[in-house]
Structures are given as structure tokens and as C-alpha cells.
Structure 1
């Protein structure tokens, strides 16, 4: 309602639409997420308070079933396990971890009063497993966690430039145990993605709906100097063009082992050069 000479007020709302790429560079760091599996509430609380003060984000599970449910829904940088759980043994939880692709390399810290007996029971599953005897010494707990988390292999970050969504789904499934594989379906989308984050490797198709994949080569070399470029094409590539990239494969003949080896080869070399 308005009155002459007094002016008017108006209210309105506008929908907020996030721009493309928002959140891509701020993906959560799951290495700081820990799961504490402990049936004693007082011990669980001490562990959670200690780890939270050290900067970790901590979830609690008081039995094996709830622990496995949380592990199925969330990714954790490491897990602490008490061997004496009410519904199943800590051994069974660790075996279940090692049998799943997503968690088979997750570091495990066993918190127990019987270290020697536990090590014998877990023979064959000792990779990435550390041992902490009760009563818990805080400095030892934090040192072990830091050691295991920093020793963890980092997941590779890939950009797959391919207009065939079905083929991308196959490649993503092949590489998912080892890498996060983003998808760009054309040259324009690829250019935006290349300018937004760093990739360990770029898997490139030559025939794209809005241009030639070779058009992206200069931008990749400039903006992603440490990334390996892998051509995955349905057509043969000339010998001269093969020398412009790290690897060339035909779509009809590629295996997951070949593709992963090609991705890792330059990545590992870059890591070695960085340590010199």
C-alpha cells in the first residue's frame, strides 16, 4: 500500500543458481575424517575428544554392525578398531575392510591390550595396520595416525574428455579403485575444467562434437604441465602424433591395467622429481 508523497517499498525474492564449477576446488578432504570403533563409551569419548582437538573430524561406532554401515556410507582417512566388540570381533571388521575396493587400503589403527595375540590373529592383513596398546598414550596415538595418513597413496585425479557417456562410465568403473575421474563431453567443457583444477592425467578423445581433441593439447601443456596426456581413440593415430603425448590406445583394445599404468607412469616420475 502506498500514499502520495510518501514513496513506496517493494520486496521480492530471486532464486540462487550456483555458477558452473562452484565447489569443485573445495571438495572435502576425507583424510581428516576418522572412524573410531570402540564399545566402551568412556574410551570412545576420550579418543574422540583427543582426535577432535588435534583437528580431525571423528565419527563413533560402538559395535561392528554400525561401523560397517558407516564405512559403506562415508569415506574415512583412517579407522581405529577395538578388537573386543559386542556383536563381532574387530578382526571381522578389518577383514571386511580389506575385502572392499573402497576401503582395502584404508589405514587401520588397532587399539587393544593384547597386541601380540592380535598380530598373530591378523597375519596376512598387516598392511596399513598399526597397533596401540591400552592405556592409550596421546602422543603415540597422534604420531601413529600422522604416519599412516601421510604414508597413504593419494588418489589420482583424472579428466576424461569423451562425448560417449557409456564409454566414460566404463572407464570410470575401471579406474574408480585408484582415481577420481571427471567427465567433459566436448571441447568447451574441457577448457573450463582445465582452468578450474589440477589433474594428474587427461584422457582425451580426438573426435569431439564441437572440435578436434588436438585443439586442447596446447592448453593442457600450459595449464597442466605435470599431467600425462593419454589419447583414447576409436581411430588410428599417426606415428608423428603419437610422439606428442605420453600414450595412445584404441578404445576397442584398452584394459584397465594398461590405462592405469599409463596414468601412473608420469605421475610417479613427477613425484620422484619433486623429492630431488
Structure 2
């Protein structure tokens, strides 16, 4: 279906199919500006596209395809794709635009998205139960098993793990292609990323009798990246390096600064990659040695996913390889330059809770410190938001008091920034400020996970009680957790996994979960999204300041709601990651 507009955008000719598409009758669109066929909300986008077509080169040049909303003669809209190509006719410059009604394509895309969403939930939920239960049995939770039974369970667990990775890869590819892969922009230290990667992947490498070690970087740059996704990239590179390394081999990871970027390297002692594989190595379903890949597992999707993730984070991925000698993969990510860290105090060596006081007035800061120290807390003081951020990066704190009137920035803005950081996202905060009441009314205190809003003059008992609440992990032993999950198998696995670190209350639907939140206080809430009587996200309005972990088949963005401390995907998060996340949030890590 073609239209020929002139360089002023007036349609000079069209075929009958175009007239039928727009319901104008034969030749009815001739003489109209081409923008008359485009919904007004897309005019600006189309004009920019047309300008690109005008400047896109010589004859027979095209600016590609643009998707807009088309408008029929009687005003109804429909999804339309338009592509414009410049041409010359009898020494006259003309344009040919091909327009297509893409209603059916859009409907097919919606059906595909719905199918993927359904498959995601219906596959990930039972797989989570299967893998979680198998993992607990393999690790000995059900008691000692006969040797033959252990071997059979090991086979089942390993193949279940392969199936989980395949499903996750397919779903990730779909998200990438549809542009729906959300990425957080976090500040991360490279050394911490490398250590986490080794901890998370050494067990996998052990299957191949391969060790992973880190060349401790001489410097430790910060990067801007999404924690979960950079760990996914590292897991893919390290698993590839391990499974293609010889028995007894070694994989080395390292980091360095290079041209304003932080470069992470993964080096193996494997067979190397043939030169002729470079053109297609990062394409989907590419396998250098299909036979070996079948023997050791793999979908051919991992490197394609890695490339898409790294490029979405503003970086690049490449490799160097020599056949028979091994391969080094490089991931370059934008470096974030952190300020020089101001050292805090020596800390709470006696085991007392450590509190950071952020207060610009020296006398008030000294008063707060004395009140808290008399109550048994160890206290450090920062007089600006910048000093507080530096102290938080350098030292672990159980809680912070925060003035909202700081000399270098607004206290609320600082708290919002703090909630986006790894350490500050779950830090218990008590506001102590002359404008505490006004700020609470304006912002709704629960939205920023504030334990209490205390005005000045300071009520010492209220201050001590609030900080005590912020630092306690439970008054009668184990912390209490509410788990809202409709699948009984998943609920049983989570209960078995956490029974030694917390008291678990289970709610099988949204309404029961909301009622439980109204009847008791919890240290943590684990929340599924797809519940039989509604979305689990509806419960977020009832949790107050209690931290929430989303544990669901679909991906959730923890930054979308400040009450969500972490978001884990069923089947992607194994027993160890779930336990580590929960333990960290309830204050039981390393206890």
C-alpha cells in the first residue's frame, strides 16, 4: 500500500489499497497532507521521522520504519507502520511511503505476551517447588539417604536445574526482544561483584572439578549496573568457563580501569574459540561445538542475553581467544567515581548496635549522641548528607537518625537517594527534625520506611524507643515472617528452608494476608503477586514500614515501590539466594 508525497508532505498519488485502508474512497487521500493520516499525538514523532528521511542520504535512501496510530476518514484509529524511501523521477525528487495496517500483528504480539506471562507463572511456580524440595533433600534436610538414592536425586536436581536455566533464558530473550527488560541503575563496587560471583558459582564449577579465583584488583572501581543482571552475566560467563575447562582447571576473574570504564575479565583454560566463530558467537542459539554443548548443557542463548544486558547498561562485551590455550571474556561497564570515603569511628566492638546520627547543628548532634550512648548504642556523627553517605559506604550501621534541614541538600531527597542504594535500601531510619511533623503529613511516613518522625525539642524516651525498635531483630527469639503464597508446595518448601531462622505465618490468598497484617506485626513479608483473589501488590498498602520481599513467577521492579526491599523470581532464585536474602533482611546474616 503505497503513497507518494512530495517534499512538502502533500500526497500526490496513492494506490487503491491505501484509499480502502483509510476509507476515503478512490483517490480520496490525494491532495491531503500525509499528517492527515496520522493521529495528532504522533505528529511530532512523524515530522522528526520525515526530516530524517529527507537527510538520510542519496537516492533510494530510507530512514527505516516508524510505528504510529493511523486515522481513518471517520476518525477511528488503528496501529500503522510507515516506511519512507526517497527517489528521483524525471529529475524530480519524490518520496514513496509504504503504509501497513498492523492491527493483526499487534494482536499477535499481545497474545504472545499473554502466553509468555502465563507460561512464566505456570512453569516457574511448580519448578520452584520441585527444585526447592530436591535441593533440601540433596543437602540432607530429610536425613541421610542410601548412596544410590543420593545419586538418583542428584541426577534429578541437576537436570531440573538445566530445565530452569532453559526456561529463564527463553523468557529473558522474549523480554529483550520486546524491550520489557527493566534495569536498575545502582552503584556497585567491582570487587564486591566479583566476590559475589565466585560465591554464587563455585558450586557449579565444582561439578567439573574447576576452581574459580579472583585476581584481587589493584584498585576497586565503582560501576553503574543492575545487581541482579550483572550477576546473571557473571553466572553465564563463569558457567561457560567452568564447563568448557579441563578437569582440574582454573578460572580467573579480575578487574581494571580502562578508558573511563571498569573492565571485568573472565579467563579460562579451555579449548579456545575458533576464529571463524567471531561473527556469530553472540547470536541467538549459537554453539561453537554443538556436540560438546549437548554433553555439558546449554541453549546457545546465554551469550546473546549477556550482550543485550551489558549493552542496555551502557557497556560492551568482547573476548580474546587462542585455540588450545583458552579464552578471556571482557565486560566493560561505565565507571561511577565515588567520593573519597570519610572514615567512621572504630565501631561497636562490644557488640552493641551501631547508629549514625546525621545532624548539622554540632550541639544537637552531641546531645543526640549522648542520649543514644547512655542507652547503650555506639554512635557516629555526620554533619552533612555527603558525610553521612560516605560513612554509610565505609561502615555497617543498624540505624540512622536524620535531620531534614541539612546544609548541602534536602533531607528528604537524601533519604530517597539512600533508599536506592544497596546499604541504604534497608537501613532503619528515624527522622529527628524541627519539620518532622510537616514532612510526615506531606510525604506519608510509611512511603520511605521511616520508623518514627520525632520533632524538636527531642523526647529522649521516644528517641531511644524508636532507635531500639529500629535495631531489634525480635523480642522473643526468632523473627516473624508472613508468607503470602497460594501454591502449597512452594509454601511448604519456603517453610522448610526458613524454619531455623524465623517463625513463619502462611496466608494462602490476598485477603488472608491483609487480615494477618492487621492482627499482628511482622519483621518481614514474603509476597507472591499472582494470587487467586487479586494481585499481591495490593497488600503493599497494608505493610506499613515492614520490609517486603517479592517472591513470584513474574519479575517485579523493587524500585517501583519503596516498601519492596528485594524482588526474586521463582526458578531463578535458588534456596541459597532466597535464604541469604531473607537472613540479611531480618538481621540474621552471619549470626
Q: TM-score, normalised on structure 2?
A: 0.22
Higher Rg: 2
Q: TM-score, normalised on structure 1?
A: 0.46
Higher RCO (C-alpha 8 Å, min separation 6): 1
